[in-house]
Chain A
């Protein structure tokens, strides 16, 4: 059995730690990670509470396959109520921290309450200590990680921490682990900051057993081979996710200048080819690729910045290598703000990792600020004297650092695009759903993506469904509800296994079923797994309803619903949400107001969760 059946619960207010048995009924219904984390979250807090209050809880959840030899087995989820969205937040991360937490002997870590002064948690197998973090408060993720390893004289300790952005409540602050992997979205790092937790450090020697090691080895050999032979996985190895920038640009779905355009003339300067082509100083951006724990794909990029570049010319501390551009970072620091300076993009990426922020939300918030600036709504008097014009690479690097350090106009950018645009009286300029900014896909060119964005329980997200094949084949909204719904269920399941979504380049539900079955020692059918996914999706929906969200939150900004795409393959189209959404609700077994029907809840075993919604109206 690959669950440890142990939950570590920490009450920060009273500074007490206890280990309790994992509720195996819930584990069978929700697996682990995102699903099981959400179930535990709903049981220990009221979804209606202020996400930044001590009544919110923060859960680090591994999956049953985390820490095994399955490819990509380093995944864990950080589950909480998101301060960016007021909705359920379940941010997934890789790196090595999640596996280390599992090796220490825990399936879940639940953090409740609020410490009265900054602390960090050190977990070494059964030894769990709450340490004073005063000396790290106000410092960066990179500093904190190194300092904790040094203090405890163990370079093998794995650390998940927040930077100043998380301490100061930047609404899209993330939790960074292993220097440049992050539970990135919805502001989970701000929740950690609100609880006065600087870091969670883990070191485990308990390990992870599987039910049938011989059968497990055989299945894993097969699933590894499938990935090895997959063209999609090979592309991820060779080019990283940034290969998408060329695809989206030629397709006409690459959001440019705050979604005013769908193609970007500078894409060639920031694509994978640009990352491997020497510049005039004979400097090449990309150094190598790097894998998360257990991953046989290795899509991660390690890059460095040209020492002559304005961003680091006089700052030797950034001359080293670190995490490089992936697609969403390239999109959010590139097309959507009109910048095509690859070193500036890479530097901004360093800032996100060092200070702990979500690049997507930061970039799209900066894009909105640039549009406000060009419209004259804000001026250099607001922006600390920086000309926030689209295409200004220096503005990107300055604002990335200011937001990370919570200085000047960075404090405004730290509100996220929705709150910032409302603050300046132009809410329609925020390219977000439920307050969370879009990823690098335009909903007018990719209709299923638009439906997925609008209905995603954690706000706009490209990883909550996968209608990519259907969207590329047909630019209309016809027939998109079904693939959207089914892949939402599937990704919810995958996010709960402890494995990475990118394995779907080669694996279907059947492969997940095989691996879970041999690891857990009980048979899991594909149907059962997809039902787990659907149950998770509905539970997240119930969380949001209890939080006070309504159908009005399942929508897209007017720019995508009313302004036709100015070019590309979908030129002249708008997002056809009006026709897709009713079809989607019906397929989900929800009312036309987006509320799960009693029969749906009964079928999924969620009836118990319905009463509080009725109470909340």
Chain B
């Protein structure tokens, strides 16, 4: 009997060796460098419609940024440059926008971009198609008229809007193509090849691209949801680049094989408070929390010092709107916090809950540090981890929460996107911030006639949020990107995107 078992084990062992031997050697970084290809690990599956007008997930937009372009496109320093249009002019103080289409821009399916494609794309987002569908981008309802003649596109707005150009980054799609959701076609430097759910997304260089061609031939995005899986993928040679890593993950990697590039995530991480329910309907309590929570302490404790402390709903990449003086508006001051709590009628503190989406460890870590910090002022906080879908439904949708930790981003280069949600009219005002003063400022800002005035009002709004302690602002999290040595050319944007067109192997 013993012999039999031994035999079984031996056979199994041999089988393994045989299988290992007969299967051709798998992909290695060296082979990829030779083939001018790269493998990038992402934690978030592209489980969305791939149609850029419909897709909402930040992770999907991050990748598909390489496939699509608008009339204009964002640059890494936060400006907009012409793309499918070759020229833009703004007339009548922001009432009329005239675009000149670039000649010979091709779609990935080989067709040339025509005026009808541009008209279709914009009308589709603005809800101006004949099929009576809802606007996909509600902000575009300001368009009163849109005309295309020859290569000139004229868009007239119902009221002047200085931020309109930022919306013209919307992807230009072929008018007569109905497979966008699963096999998208755009005009960007990379074309979409395939998507395998929970496995990979493959892009390939588009050789007929109008602009600077991409350097890499093929980019594979590997989907690995598990945190330690990304680390192992880098160690095993399956991956060459992973962004949004934590300092703990990075400390596990071989320093001779990888280097780390630091950017910022461009999001506002905060302890968002439900301003409509006690105790956070009291401004004194909110301010007390701001004094009690030590932002730098959180960054040092949970993020090894990586991250930029924030004091309001704006981050430094939007330099024009960012007001650094608000960051230390509430310095860490336990005595002051206790005093405010006493004034508010909570001399012995109170109990509260922090609802946290459990799928994102950095937020959970932040919550754990906050719980400890709040103990010092007598506030007992309990963490309630919930699943992401429940968070979206209960916290974000129904405002059934006391406080929550999340990071809010902007997917275009406007301050409006970040600030509009605290206006009482906004459908996504989940913190139920309610200030007549703020609403008035917002109304003034969106109809401002010149850029300087608008910027000034936006800054005023930021200050208003800070002074009223709408939320306990924490930080703009650091974006730590691990790159295999030999891979060069990573560029950071003030948006949540990963531009692979500038990456290359330095052989």
A, B from the same assembly:
no
